[in-house]
Amino acid sequence: MSAVLPSDKPRPRLDGPEQPFWAGLKDRQIRVQRCDHCGRHRFPASRYCPHCHGPHSHWDAVGGEGEVESFCIFHKAYFPGFAAETPYAVIQVRLDSGVRFFSNLAGGADNAEIQIGMRVRAVFEDVDDALTLLKFRTAEAKP
């Protein structure tokens, strides 16, 4: 059996409908779709707005601060690329703009630190030249 490298982690489809999102992360921005008709943000991508059904939208940068809504800790590695990191935490984050993501705390964070309701701020983690992931680190409580 060959060694499992971190690069064996699954990769997203970078040239799919979310291409502007992935390109945005390279530029240190979180770009999500914004409806030209009703102004709401949405992610993942869809041609039509789920709220007003309008067909026109553009990709708009949103702020990187939000809150951990929940988290879980994987002890089982469903993907070989994650085996070396178990137990690893997945966090469910709601940005202040209302857009939600599943993600991880950026490198070195202790699973025991994670709490529901904790404030977090976006971190742009470069995997390689083509891929940057949106991760988070703990942030100061909202003033």
9 contact, one of Zn ion, other proteins, none, CB 5-8 Å limit per kind: other proteins
Q: Is 37 in the site for Zn ion (CB under 5 A)?
A: yes
Is the Cβ of residue 46 or residue 111 nearer to Zn ion in the bound state? Answer: 46
Dump the DSSP string for 80-91: GGGGGG-SEEEE
Identify what 52 binds: Zn ion, other proteins, none; CB under 5 to 8 Å per kind: Zn ion
Q: For residues 87 and 77, what is the distance between their CA atoms, to the nearest angstrom?
A: 9
To Zn ion, the closest distance from the beta carbon of 49 in angstroms equals: 3
The binding site for other proteins (CB under 8 A) comprises 9-13, 18, 44, 50, 69-76, 78-79, 82, 85, 87-88, 90, 92, 100, 102-104, 116-117, 127, 131, 133, 135
* Interface of this chain with Zn ion, residues 38 to 77, rule: CB under 5 A: 38, 49, 51-52, 54
Least distance between other proteins and beta carbon 63 (Å): 19
* Contact of 83 with 77, CB cutoff 8 Å: yes
**Can you list the positions of beta strands (E) in the chain?**
30-35, 41-42, 57-62, 65-74, 88-95, 100-103, 119-126, 132-138
List 25, 30, 32, 35, residue binding Zn ion (CB under 5 A): 35
Question: 104 contacts which partner out of Zn ion, other proteins, none, CB within 5 to 8 A by kind?
Answer: other proteins
Cross-strand partners of 33: 42, 59
Q: Tell me the two tokens of residue 57.
A: 């939208």
For residue 10, the SS3 value is: coil
